[in-house]
Homo-oligomer: A and B are copies of this chain.
Amino acid sequence: MDASELVSRLLRHDRRALARGISLVENAAPELRAIMSGLAPHTGSARTVGLTGPPGVGKSTTSNALVTALRSRGESVAVLAVDPSSPFTGGALLGDRVRMQEHSGDNGVFIRSMASRGHLGGLSWATPHALRLLDAAGFDVLLVETVGVGQAEVDIAAHADTTVVLSAPGMGDAVQAAKAGVLEIADILAVNKADRDGARATVRELRQMVARGEGDADRWKPPVVSTVAESGDGVGELLGRVDAHQEHMRAAGELERRRHRRAREEIEAIALGALRQRLADVRSGAGLDTLADEVTSGSSDPYSAADTLLDALER
């Protein structure tokens, strides 16, 4: 399947072409350039929703419940589960197949996990690429699920129109998430496993945190929603909040601004990736190993060594 065939198949909603496209993204394949060029006129209509939160909080159960809710409204959904830690564990997420089964035979659902195989630029580069493929393939809603706590998550959430941050009672997660800066990227806060002890306290705590935020009347205040994703309780309300957030963003011109900002970052990430690659290409020619030896022995410093590397780039 060459690039132009993949593009035309993708535009016909071909699932095999889509799976192949995402594998190309994981492997940072050179064909992506031609593919992205062919898809460009057909992107921009999907709504993206980011789902994030610490491990064990129920992200995949929640995204499953959201898929069911969206399907019952007749909307098609793609779920992209992104694992920022995978350069180390080196595999796709568990439970992927289990989840696929639940919606198998439904052509309006596509679920796929994505790992960054340690390639240059990593997931900040790969996530928007995969979203473009899913968007061009015609899905109405793209759910981006991320694992982990911290910067990687924050980076990936930046690719969504609406970011839902999940917590659960009794894990101290709310506070930890706040510490890790995750709260600051939340458009909606969901307390999952809300049938457990301590759920009310977690909701209250989060509401207080939100209330302490800057008080701009026009600004969207992240609502705090209780869910029991396993039974589906509260998921309808969560989806309603997502709709409301996207409506608010659209009306305020913020949706456009976010997408513009994302396009800027995407362009810069690709340009930087190309520069990284050029640097990697001249590494041995510039004698990086010798330079590293000079730095460890103290006969040179890292800046002078970097200059030598950059000189090689310009030659």
> Which residues does A use to contact B, with CB under 8 Å?
32-33, 36-37, 39-44, 54-56, 84-89, 128, 147-154, 172, 176, 179-181, 184, 256, 259-261, 263-264, 266-268, 270-272, 274-276, 279, 283, 288-289, 291-293, 295-306, 309-310, 313
Contacts and interface: CB of A to CB of B under 8 A. Distances in A.
A266 to B, nearest CB: 5
B263 A88 contact: no
Q: Per DSSP, are chain A's interface residues mostly helix, strand or loop, or mixed?
A: helix
A298 B289 CA distance: 44
Contacts of A89: 179, 181
Contacts of A85: 150-151, 154, 179-181
A277 to B, nearest CB: 11
A300 B40 contact: yes
A21 B180 CA distance: 26
B296 A259 contact: yes
B274 A306 contact: yes
Contact of A40 (B55, B56, B298): B298
A170 to B, nearest CB: 12
